[in-house]
Structure 1
Amino acid sequence: MNYRELAATIIEDIGGEKNIRQLTHCATRLRFNLKDESIVAEEKLRNTTGVMGAVSKGGQYQVIIGSDVGNVYKEVMDQTSIETKEDFGPSRKKGVAAVIDTITGIFTPILPAITASGMLKAVLSLLVVFNWLSVESQTYQILNFMGDAAFYFLPILLAASSAQKFKTNMYLAMMLGGILLHPSFVAMVTQAKEAGTAISLIGLPVSAVSYSSSVIPIILSVWFMSYVEPIADKVSPKAIKFFSKPLLTIFVVGTVSLVAIGPLGYIISDAISNGITTLESLSPWLVPVLLGTFTPLFVATGTHYGLVPIGINNRMTMGYDSVIYPGMLASNVSQGAASLAVGVKSKNKELKQLAFSAGLTGIFGITEPALYGVNLKYKTPLYGAMIGGGLGGLFMGIMKVKNFTGGSPGLLTLPSYIGDNTLSFFYSACIGAGISVIASFIATFILYKDKLEEPTTIEDAPTLKRTIEKETLVFAPLTGEVHSLKEVNDGVFSEGILGEGIAIIPTENKVYSPVNGVITATFDSGHAVGITSDEGIEILVHVGIDTVQMNGEGFNYLVEKGQNVEVGDALLTFDMGLIKEHGYNVITPVVITNSALIGDILNTETGAIQVGDNLFKIYG
């Protein structure tokens, strides 16, 4: 692969250097913050050799490269001056997108350090369990504090990455982390706890709280500093600004952090861990099952990084994580196994090579090559991976498997389940991973079929499932303008994860039944409806994007689940103006969710459409 040429192509297709606000990368993706995503040559970018896919989600435009991402990133940086830019301007992201963008930007840069520490601790645990190393030896003690380093000094690592994200001085932020971790403060906290005395700063009470290994307090403190520093700059006389600006900033932020923000962050962290403990006691299997099943969708949309801090917080507060990492382990190895099953079954030489390579990478913890190169593209491997991930997550949830040191969930990080002086969690994690691999492989092997080539002569036509006698029509449920599903700013729809379909920008506020059938899905939020036709076609009409967050406001069902409907029956009403006021896009995906199991689907052309017009023709 010519990394230089690939980088140049990506820069051009992304809209040029002038369109790039910021660029980071993770294990497989280039993560762009762009000024204007509408000028991206997306179709050309997706078809570029070396690019596995592209998706806009979580406040970023993500270009999936695979394991070569580091080399491509270096070339992009070498060919631009992005690294010299410090002011990327105000973020245009709002709501959930802004939160996910912030979390991703903060945690992605520190993952290598956390992974290194976690794996070192896992290997050390393995050496002790098998009596290859004594805990009294100096070798153990040195390796132990080496492994603890990234976790103990996590506030300083997070301070640096938070400062980059919040556009404030990195070194003052790291100093702020040092304040929270200073040995003198730690000693004061220890003494106050033992003696039952109070700590005060200029008469203000300071909570006796330890911040080593904490996550939330330092992030909140640096965020606060991003507002204080400009004020300090403004009020400082020009002649003494060099020392007065940092002095005012660190005094104000340091004081507020010790007195208010730090304790608040500690309370939030403690509340999260208590909530996880309660959930674990009531239903320990639920979250691992959900994550094992749906993590591929989170990865496809880039929102899985929002879960990483929860797992880290669990380990920092409780000493282990029993919900996030076990579920992700089941999902990741299932993704790899599904891709391997395609490699075994497919007769396409190029696909076999890709599937085997991506499958091995997936079971070791890096799933994007398998997800974008194979599973999402061919759909049935994705279903197989979700089945295997759910079953593996169920087993690990029932067994209350604990992860002690993190790392990228996969076979290579199984030692991270060694802890509490027992191998029981390690054994259970191995069995759970095995269940995921076997179930996913078998399900995918059964479901996957190589795509048939289009017939070139009339004699070839019988090899297809298409028969005019079985033609079924699906009519338009909305009046508006038809667009390609790829234009929907949600990877779950635009990547075809839920199935084939189209999108309609509505001009009226009512949804009608597109088929004769039965209502099979309604939602508390009222934003979508599922219908199954008499022929077995499953259709989802999803009004707007992210409108589930409106919690039902502006939506009203006119039917109930289980009710029989006919073409043209009114199903629900919605307030288009209110959706726009809340900042959500009204574009409405209409998806055939079981498109992989029915015949060929012919979509209508884009353009204006009326309720009752033909939308799809399906041939059995």
Structure 2
Amino acid sequence: MNHQKLAQNIVDHVGGRNNIQSLTHCATRLRFVLNDNRKADAKTLENTAGILKVVESGGQFQVVVGNDVSEVYKHIVAEGEFDGTASSEGDVKEKKGIRAAIFGLISGSLTPLIPVFAGAGLVKALLIVLEQAGWIAVDSGTYAILAAAGNSIFYFLPILLGITIAKVLNVNSYMAAAIGAALMEPNFTALTAAGSTTHFLGIPVSLMNYASSVFPMFIAVSIYAVLERFLKKIMHKNVQLFAVPFFSLIIMVPLTAMLIGPFGQYVGQWIGDIVNFLINSNSVIAGIILGGTWSFLVLLGLHWATVPIIMGNLSAGGDLIVPLAATSVAASMGIGLGVFLKTKDKDLKALSGSAFLSAILSGVTEPILYGIILRYRKTLIYLVVAGAIGGGLMGYLGVKLIVFNFFINVFTLPAQSPMLFYIIGILTAIAGGALCVVLFGYESKKTDQGAEGTELQKKQNKQSESENNQQAIPGSSTEKMERGAAGMDTSGMMECMITSPLEGTVIPLHEVEDVVFSSESMGRGAAIIPSKGQLVSPVDGLVSVTMKSAHAIAVTSDEGVEILMHIGIDTVRLKGQYFTQKVQQGDRVRVGEVLIEFDMDRIQKEGFKLTTPIVVTNSDQFRVITPLLSQGKVAVKEGLLSVRS
């Protein structure tokens, strides 16, 4: 994958650099806050190779890239002096709803800290294992140093949150960090040891411990953002350098200590109390609901918004949300495992196997969600059922998260208590998801394939039905199939070799920059980058589909294999220019007979790529479809695919 090219395509199709207000990334997603979402072209992005999905949610425009997200992010930041956080100049920002703005702020602020949360959480989990195994003493220097590494992000969270919130709001991040640091300053924290209240200019101040707090900083920095912009508006530029920070600190620190901090703490406690009340009222029902629906929050990118509640629960002794939600994650892992065990397709087996392994080790399930579950939507039912069963069991067993970790993987097992009960709940969900796939399958009717793909598929289906209904005509493909004379051996197995219809270079189908083909929605096969503007028949058979635009054609072989050949990417927009069709629908053709001639130079000058997918559109009717040449140069009539029933 060309990360630099993909990065440039993404920037172009989110409306350009001037439309980007801020950018962060998590384990699989680029998370844009755009000035105007209407300028972004989600459809084109979703049809770009290297992009799994585009999600607009929580005030963010999220581009799901997968494991290469960090590399693509680096190139976006490097291109055009874009610094990853700057907004455009002069653009009018699109108005967003209050809910979208709140979710966007929470998600955009917490996302950059998630990798640190994950790493520190693993350190804390490691300490639990070492302590319980008797390999380290709690009063040793080694324990203290490792504990400092695991606790730092959580204890000083107000400072780090100040930085990330300020970046989302486009204000001075170091000033915001200073406000958070004031709440952790030793002289201030020492006041809590002397009592629960103090005074500022005679005004009583309620003292609280702000270590690991979340909500106070969201409120404080949001108010500071308004204050900073107001001060810059009323102050002369020559004095802004020192005057804005001076007045910001002298106003915001006392205001946070007296009003915002206590209020934020209380708000966080109230929300946590409501959620916990629902869970504690009936943990089994709560587990069924959370376990069955959590992955849908993940799909929308809204799951990070629960982090403040989880953090509040942990400070109170333990969290019930994460163990219940974990079963939904485990169910998706089970679906990945089930597809790996069930499928005979090599590419899908490789995808599902690697995605399952990655999920088990890292807890990142987006490759399964976007690469398998949304592609085979029948599995959505399995996701809900297996997650709900596991969640109900987890709620019944009363499992709690005891140290923060938002990732569900083998390394975070000690973060849950009782760990054995947690493992039982997780294994139940994994087994449920895998068994559903193995027992009931994962494929259903093909989903929408785009207007062009749907039209081709309908034409082929109509042609196939017509052929099946006609009487056997001497010499016709129907008669040959009925008497078993076309590639059928005595055991009843059929084998058909599809030859190359083009001279050029073969590439794997998944590298085609059209999601309809690369996702195999239209069927399995290969692709060729042509070196000569002539498309020939790959088999003996009948021309089953032609298009007015002449950029695509389908041939049904004498063995009943339906082969679609689509010259170029999005070339339907040329409306037939530079294409000359040599045959008509219903014509009988032989291997090597010219079907279409096309002007390569003119098509490329129009800005279109000539990558040509060759796919078996009735792939589900055959047991094995094997590429005879996975990549490299290929000549016309040279073996390309082997199809066996």
C-alpha separation in 2, matches of 1:15 and 1:276: 39
Match of 2:396 among 390, 395, 398: 398
| Aligned residues of 1:385 and 1:444 also touching (Cα < 8 A) | no
Q: Using a 3 Å threshold, how does the CA distance of structure 1 residues 383 and 53 change in structure 2: closer, same or farther?
A: same
Residue 413 to residue 308, structure 1, CA distance change in 2 (3 Å): farther
Corresponding residue number in structure 2 for 1:551: none
Shift of 1:348: 2.3
Partner of 2:296: 297
Structure 1 pair 413/403, CA: closer, same or farther in 2 (3 Å)?
farther
Using the TM superposition, give the Cα deviation of residue 406 of structure 1 relative to its aligned residue in structure 2, in angstroms: 2.7
Quick one: distance in 2 between partners of 1:43 and 1:234? Answer: 40
- Larger displacement relative to structure 2 (154-163 or 234-243): 234-243
Q: Does 1:387 align with 2:390?
A: no
How high is the TM-score relative to the length of structure 1?
Answer: 0.69
Which of 343, 346, 351 is 2:340 aligned to?
343
Distance 2:125 2:260 in 1: 33
Shift of 1:21: 2.6
Code of the residue aligned with 1:387 in structure 2: it is V
In structure 2, the CA distance between the partners of 1:280 and 1:42, relative to structure 1 (3 Å rule), is closer
Q: What do residues 110-158 of structure 1 show as CA deviations (whole Å, max 9, x unaligned)?
A: 1122222111101100111111111122111211122111110011111
Q: CA deviation at 1:413?
A: 4.2
1:185 aligns to 2:188 (yes or no):
yes
1:457 aligns with 2:464: yes
Which structure 2 residues correspond to residues 62-461 of structure 1 after superposition, within 5 A?
62-83=62-83, 86-88=86-88, 90=93, 92-193=95-196, 198-236=197-235, 238-316=237-315, 318-323=316-321, 325-364=322-361, 365-418=363-416, 424-450=417-443, 455=461, 457-458=464-465
- Name the SS of the counterpart of 2:32 in structure 1: strand
Q: CA deviation at 1:13?
A: 3.0
Please give the per-residue CA displacement for 1:465-524, whole angstroms capped at 9, x wherever unaligned.
Answer: xxxxxxxxxxxxxxxxxxxxxxxxxxxxxxxxxxxxxxxxxxxxxxxxxxxxxxxxxxxx
Give the counterpart letter for 2:114 in structure 1.
L
1:560 is aligned to none
> What is the aligned partner in structure 2 of residue 20 from structure 1?
20
Cα separation, partners in 2 of 1:85 and 1:370, compared to 1, 3 Å: closer
SS of equivalent to 1:164 = helix
Deviations 1:388-447 (A, max 9, x none): 1111111111122111223243223433435xxxxx511111111100100111112223
- Aligned-pair CA distance for 1:61: 1.6
**SS across alignment from 2:297:** helix
**SS state at 1:379 partner:** coil
Q: Using the alignment, how far apart are the partners of 1:241 and 1:37 within structure 2?
A: 33
User: Residue type of the partner of 1:225?
Assistant: Y
Change beyond 3 A, Cα 1:441–1:41? same
The equivalent of 2:570 in structure 1 is none
Q: Give the direction of change, closer, same or farther, for the CA distance of 1:85–1:46 in structure 2 (3 Å limit).
A: closer
Separation of aligned partners in 2, 1:117 and 1:59: 28
1:366-385 C-alpha deviation (Å, 9 max, x unpaired):
11111011101111222212
Shift of 1:50: 1.3
Distance 1:276 1:18, change over 3 A: closer
1:277 to partner: Cα distance: 4.2
What secondary structure does 2:54 align onto? strand
Question: What is the CA RMSD across the aligned residues, in angstroms?
Answer: 2.2
Conservation of the 8 A alpha-carbon contact between 1:328 and 1:409: no
Going from structure 1 to structure 2, the CA distance change for 1:459 and 1:344 (only over 3 Å counts) comes to farther
* More off after superposition, 146-155 vs 45-54: 45-54
Q: 1:91 to 1:106 in 2, by over 3 A?
A: farther
SS in 2 for 1:387: helix
CA distance in 2, matches of 1:450, 1:460: 26
Whole-Å separation in 1 of the counterparts to 2:420 and 2:84: 49
Alpha-carbon distance between aligned partners in 2 of 1:336 and 1:301, rounded to the nearest angstrom: 18
Give 1:299 deviation, angstroms.
1.6
**Within 2, Cα distance between the matches of 1:96 and 1:376?**
26
Q: 1:168 & 1:225 partners in 2: Cα distance?
A: 8
The answer to whether the 8 Å contact 1:7/1:75 transfers is yes
Give 1:265's aligned amino acid: G
**Residues 38 and 208 of structure 1: CA distance in aligned 2, closer, same or farther (over 3 Å):** closer
**2:284 corresponds to which letter in structure 1?**
W
The 5-angstrom pairing of residues 499-510 of structure 1 reads none
Q: 3-state SS of the aligned residue for 1:200?
A: strand
Structure 1 residue 3: Cα displacement:
1.1
Query: What is the distance in 2 between the residues matched to 1:74 and 1:439?
Result: 39
Listed one character per residue, the Cα deviations across residues 9-57 of structure 1 (whole Å, up to 9, x for unaligned) are 2223333333333221111011122334344443332222211111222
Helix, strand or coil: the match of 2:76? helix
Asked if the contact 1:8/1:76 (under 8 Å) is kept, the reply is yes
Q: How much has 1:303 moved relative to structure 2?
A: 1.8
- CA separation of 1:135 and 1:384: change in aligned 2, threshold 3 A: same
1:319–1:114 distance in 2 versus 1, CA, 3 Å: farther
Query: 1:350 deviation in Å?
Result: 1.7
Task: Summarize the alignment of residues 457-606 of structure 1 with structure 2, pairs less than 5 Å apart.
Answer: 457-458=464-465
Q: Quick check: 250-259 or 53-62, which moved more?
A: 53-62
| Corresponding residue SS for 1:209 | coil
- Offset, 1:343: 2.1
**Does the 8 A contact of 2:122 with 2:412 survive in 1?**
no
Structure 2 unpaired stretches of 5+: 447-456, 470-645
Which deviations, in whole Å up to 9, do the C-alpha atoms of 1:538-584 show, x marking residues without a partner? xxxxxxxxxxxxxxxxxxxxxxxxxxxxxxxxxxxxxxxxxxxxxxx
Stretches of 4+ aligned residues off by more than 6 angstroms? none
Q: Encode CA deviations 1:205-238: one digit per residue, 9 max, x unaligned.
A: 1112111111111211111111112233344455
Q: Secondary structure at the match of 1:54?
A: strand
Q: 1:233 to 1:426 in 2, by over 3 A?
A: same
Shift of 1:386: 1.8
Deviations 1:580-620 (A, max 9, x none): xxxxxxxxxxxxxxxxxxxxxxxxxxxxxxxxxxxxxxxxx
- Hey, what does 1:37 align to over in structure 2? 37
Aligned mates of 2:47, 2:387 — CA distance in 1: 30
Q: Distance in 2 between matches of 1:243 and 1:37?
A: 36
* Corresponding residue SS for 2:153: helix
Q: Distance in 2 between matches of 1:35 and 1:234?
A: 21
Please name the residue that 1:479 is paired with. Answer: none
Pair 1:5 & 2:5 matched:
yes
1:457 is matched by which residue type in structure 2? S
SS in 1 for 2:195: helix
What amino acid maps onto 2:354 in structure 1? S
* Alpha-carbon distance, 1:173 to partner: 0.8
Output the CA distance in 1 between the equivalents of 2:401 and 2:301.
23
SS of alignment partner, residue 30 of structure 1: strand
